[in-house]
Amino acid sequence: MPQIFHRQFDLFFKLGVLFIIAAVAGSYVLWRLIFIPAVAAPVRQPVPFSHKHHVGDDGIDCRYCHTSVETAPFAGLPPTSTCMTCHSQLFRDAPMLEPVRESMRTGQPLRWNRVYFLPGFAYFDHSIHIAKGVGCESCHGRVDQMPLMWRNEHVDMSFCLSCHRNPDPNLRPLDQVFRMGWRPAGPDQGAALHQAYHLRSGEQLSNCSVCHR
């Protein structure tokens, strides 16, 4: 039977496949380096907002600014009017707050830069996590100690699965969800809360359809 393909075709085919894999992997790594902030690297914002000052020093509750975190998939960002509730009286002439005053004058919202990114094929709902006792700190870290906001974790599939497979260490009483630095009363509290909140098993929570719909 006559040979259809040249003997070197197999080598070229393998090299081509390797090139495609390397190009895809390299593009993904480059995308992460350019567009996704590194862990513990402060993200530049139009106003140098300090969670350390507002949360840690002044004790402002997360929900004062992130008003939809208990009722919607997204936590929400505060309108300028929320900022000016205080800053119409406090630090009225501070130069660093000029973008806030300009936003109030013009009606143009501030354009905050994203700190956390999720791909479009992954579904995340803040409200269900809050309702089941997962504290803000579990994903966002000690924001009350961050003078500027940064990513506390690479919120990737392995990070989410580690919690879904064993959520107990991250469960809190509902009145402690927004408290920074909370610690469980004992080693069995998470398991008791798991039962009280009627959570599914780790195997069920790690099913693909939970996050990919």
The SS3 assignment for 178 reads: coil
Structure tokens at 56: 């840690």
Ranking 52-61, 112-121, 128-137 by mean pLDDT, the lowest is: 112-121
Neighbours of 19 (CB within 10 A): 10
Q: Are 130 and 175 in contact (CB under 8 A)?
A: no
At residue 22, the pLDDT reads: 74
| pTM recorded for the entire structure | 0.80
Q: Which residues contact 179 (CB under 8 A, 6 or more apart)?
A: 135, 172
Q: Are 96 and 48 in contact (CB under 8 A)?
A: yes
* Domain coordinates in residue numbering, the chain: 118-213
C-alpha dihedral, 136 to 142 to 148 to 152, nearest 10°: -70
Answer yes or no: is pLDDT of 89 > 70: yes
Answer yes or no: is pLDDT of 19 > 80: no
pLDDT confidence tier of residue 27, bands split at 50, 70 and 90: low
Q: What is the pLDDT of residues 100-128, one digit of tens each?
A: 999 999 999 999 999 998 888 999 999 99
Angle between helices 80-87 and 98-106 (to 10 degrees): 120
